[in-house]
Amino acid sequence: MGADARTERAGRARGGRAVVLSACGALLAAGCATMPDDGSVEAVKGSTTGDSQVRVYAVAPRENADPGEIVDGFLEAMTSDDLGFATARKYLTQHAAETWKPEEGITVLTAAPSREQAGRNGDPDKEGRSYSLTGRKIATVDARHAYQPISPKEYLQTIHVVQQPAAGGKGKEWRINSLPPGLLLGEADFLRNYRSVNKYYFASGKDWVVADPVYIRQRQDPVTRMDPVTQTVKTLLDGPTNWLKPAVDSSFPPRTELRKGVTTLATDDQSTLKVPLNAKADGADGPACRRMAAQLLFTLRDLPSVRVEQVELLGSKGSLCRLGQGQAAEFAPVRNGGRGENAYFLDGHDKLRKLMAGEKEASAPVEVPGPFGRGPTRLGSVAVDRDETRAAGVDTTGHQLFVSSITVETGQEPPPAVLSSKAVKPVDRLSTPTWDGQGDLWVADRDPAERRLWMVPGGTGKPVEVGTPWLGDGRIESLRVSADGVRMALVVRRGERTTLQIGRIERRTTDGGTVVSASVADLQPAAPRMESVTAVSWAGPSRLVVVGREAGGVQQIRYLQTDGSTSASSVLPGLNGASSVSAPHDESAATPVVADSEDGIVRLPPGTNWQPVVKTGSSPVYPG
């Protein structure tokens, strides 16, 4: 759909075409939401992108509109920014208008719903008419703003229209008296109206934050009338999404809310955002208030509409505390002192090499100290810890897992094995390992006789078997743990299909902090539209970069949110035969994505195309 400033909306015809109208007069059908001020009648394609600059203005039903027009007009009005959805409610009977709650949730289809007449009742003028709404359902958004993707499936619901007395008592008008709950939107309209934001909570019992992605309105929310900043703060105060809730804590006292009537929040000339809270926040002491402020700073830092350098929390009796961005950094899951992240890979001789951060062009790889770089140990896969002081490597046979320093020369002899696999075939042995931000190491043993997932506390402690009751006859091909140690991305094979799943990590520890048991629970699909997934890497607090293929499509590399949502702009340039990929944790840095492909090890700096690094190599990784 075009985003011409003069044509703020191309009205969508339900037959799959839209018409840009030069005037609304008698030509304006009930379903048209376009208000251009000039130009000729021109056929254009329907909405295909989530252009947030395009505005939709709902149009009330015209007099004596037929029942099909009423349904079309209502479906169109749902895509607007109309306050309270007041115009959309004009298509409903009084009872339906009073009971319809658009804030209950959103059903997302691949395209705008199609309206088909399902049939007439015995006497349609008395009993009304029913229409079927059809499409391909791909996701839902619940009342807590959490996005839940699903494998595309057929959507079929019914909407019913009846006749009721017209205003003034003259004649009758068709109105909707029965409809599906919440909002029903095509994906393009959903992405135009909503944007993903991360709200942040503390990992349970810890002092670092975890991202929790949700969707808010791009502009003013029609129901709450809040601007995007205020919406974001409200969703944070509402608490974590149901999926993440068992693994995180909020420092805000229970029932803390924005002060009544607050719908707009803006920074002052010092980029300080003052957030007025109700009396429930008054009891927060100094440390607790700092943590509350840190949650806000992390949550607001990615909003494009505001730059927040400091937050001040206001209780019912005045200021509670202030915190700046620099002070909030102590609560980050990765605290590397601002240094850049280096990429690593295994060269043609299975030795670990480093690519220095901050280079505009691919530079010669650097040898690392220790047995992985200079000794006889040959590796088939590798992972570097978040501090870039140690590496974990699985030998070329997949049989043993080793951990060694990569900053201090410790000799060339291989260290003792941390873990071993008994599988007969190398392909069934240990997966590529992965580190979380707290120094714990994770690896899967794919032995068909006993498939298991392991965590090695501190990288060298006694391995702890991780519960995977959902695995069944499946097999973990690869895994990557988030920096916060709360979430795990897994590529799981069942039969001929490999899928990407996100699981929540749950630990049970002693009073001294020793891990007694761990499990990965509540797996959620992260790429349900992909038929097969080859590789995955974390690319920030709540984003993944994935190599995979949709049904009937070609291999692609794209960014996905951990909740499974995506956008048309998330696809990376094509790459021949990519078998692995890795991205830095810091999304704000101009650090390239690295990958293993038919052309060797390559890198993708922002805004460019893939650049060769070395012809022969494997296992390119960033810390993690």
CA 153, CA 324: separation in Å to the nearest integer?
46
Per-residue pLDDT of 193-237, as tens digits, reads 999 999 999 999 999 999 999 999 999 999 999 999 999 999 999
Domain final position from 306, 331, 356: 331
Report, as an integer, the average pLDDT of 430-448.
Answer: 96
Report, as an integer, the average pLDDT of 597-605.
Answer: 93
The residue that leads in pLDDT, 481 or 410, is 481
Is residue 50 predicted with pLDDT exceeding 70? no
The residue that leads in pLDDT, 513 or 356, is 356
**One domain, residues 325 and 369:** no
Is residue 9 predicted with pLDDT exceeding 70? no
84 pLDDT tier (thresholds 50, 70, 90): very high
Is residue 441 predicted with pLDDT exceeding 80? yes
**One domain, residues 289 and 222:** yes
Report the half-sphere exposure of 229 (CA within 13 A, side-chain side).
19
**One domain, residues 16 and 133:** yes
Report, as an integer, the average pLDDT of 51-55.
Answer: 60
Tell me, yes or no, whether 615 lies in a domain: yes
- Quick check: 257 and 317 in contact, CB under 8 A? no
Report, as an integer, the average pLDDT of 307-321.
Answer: 94
- For the chain, the maximum distance between any two Cα atoms, rounded to a whole number of angstroms, is 95
Q: Model pTM?
A: 0.88
* DSSP string covering 283-313: T--HHHHHHHHHHHHHHHTT-TT---SEEEE
302 pLDDT tier (thresholds 50, 70, 90): confident
Tally of domains in the chain = 3
Domain final position from 331, 357, 380: 331
The residue count of the chain comes to: 624
**One domain, residues 27 and 138:** yes
Confidence (pLDDT) at 335: 77
Report, as an integer, the average pLDDT of 381-392.
Answer: 95
Report, as an integer, the average pLDDT of 117-145.
Answer: 83
Confidence (pLDDT) at 4: 32
Report the half-sphere exposure of 144 (CA within 13 A, side-chain side).
15
Report, as an integer, the average pLDDT of 340-351.
Answer: 93
Tell me, yes or no, whether 68 lies in a domain: yes
Can you give the residue range of the structural domain that contains 304?
A: 193-331
Report, as an integer, the average pLDDT of 490-506.
Answer: 95
Tell me, yes or no, whether 1 lies in a domain: no
Q: Which of 27-36, 359-368, 503-512 has the lowest mean pLDDT?
A: 27-36
**One domain, residues 316 and 392:** no
Number of H helices, E strands in the chain: 8, 38
Confidence (pLDDT) at 508: 86
Confidence (pLDDT) at 47: 42
Domain final position from 113, 147, 165: 165
Per-residue pLDDT of 241-276, as tens digits, reads 999 999 999 999 999 999 999 999 999 999 999 999
410 pLDDT tier (thresholds 50, 70, 90): confident
359 pLDDT tier (thresholds 50, 70, 90): low
